[in-house]
Structure 1
């Protein structure tokens, strides 16, 4: 969607467009209500600022929509399509897939939620190493990292969703 279109659609439509990037109502509404934006960079700056900080409740709510790393979401939603695209570049061998599955289980047992990482631009080995390292964290450390990962994912999705357009 071109930025000019995003700036001009009605509030409900803009909310509908942004929600798959990150399903946190406060974040979405803060961005939508700050329109119009002069540039995509300004939009991303607002999105970044609106993410500071996410409350534990917001993180928990947003996490309900994220698949396990290494598992492709099967739902036919915009958010699931974004997640499939983000994980598409991660080439996973059978051994790495098994290690990720084990690590995911360990992480869920320890922290009570799925392991979340911005997969785009990362190799399967890098994701696995990060998962193993994060298993050594305290819940408080992980809360901060998960909120940061949600922010990174949201900004990545938003930057792929809105463009300057032909007149920029």
Structure 2
């Protein structure tokens, strides 16, 4: 299979650096992450792009990881006009007011403890599953939580890169 037989990948490989940078920023808010992906173009296959995304996520410094997390709204409060966060947090759509209030309280406790938003790959998760994960992760030591955050960011980036190729 050639790159030209995968329209989304061919478009990504050939679009201007400015347009590709904008698209990549929608995937991950880390400038370093987007630059790493951009610098490795062109990609022969979608899997090559996903592997590059994984490698770029693994290479993020602590500051880069903070920058990436700053691009994510808290669970239960997707950014208005942000279809990606609304789609990814769909599991909270039918949540009760009690669950929403609990998530707000837990999100605030998490941010106070770790200094950043609670990051989880919410795609396909119910509100209760996200709440339970948040409760469980509140007890993690900071170093362990950073490892989990990086893994969750990698999962989110893979989903968003795949969608980028499908939408392109």
Q: Does TM, normalized by the shorter one, top 0.5?
A: yes
Judge conservation of contact 2:29–2:70 (CA < 8 Å) in 1: no
Q: Unmatched 5+ residue regions in structure 1? A: none
Aligned counterpart, 1:7: 13
Aligned counterpart, 2:151: 148
Structure with more helix by fraction: 2
Aligned counterpart, 1:69: 75
CA shift for structure 1 position 67: 1.1
1:26 and 2:32 correspond: yes
Work out the CA distance in 2 between the residues paired with 1:106 and 1:49. Answer: 31
* CA deviation map 1:55-78 (0-9, x unaligned): 11011112222111011212x4xx
Judge conservation of contact 2:95–2:127 (CA < 8 Å) in 1: yes
1:46 and 2:76 correspond: no
Q: How many residues align?
A: 161
Work out the CA distance in 1 between the residues paired with 2:126 and 2:91. Answer: 8
RMSD: 1.8
Aligned counterpart, 2:90: 88
- Residue 35 of structure 2 aligns to a residue whose secondary structure is helix
Q: Unmatched 5+ residue regions in structure 2? A: 1-6
- The structure with higher relative contact order (CA 8 Å, sep 6+) is 1
Work out the CA distance in 2 between the residues paired with 1:128 and 1:36. Answer: 40
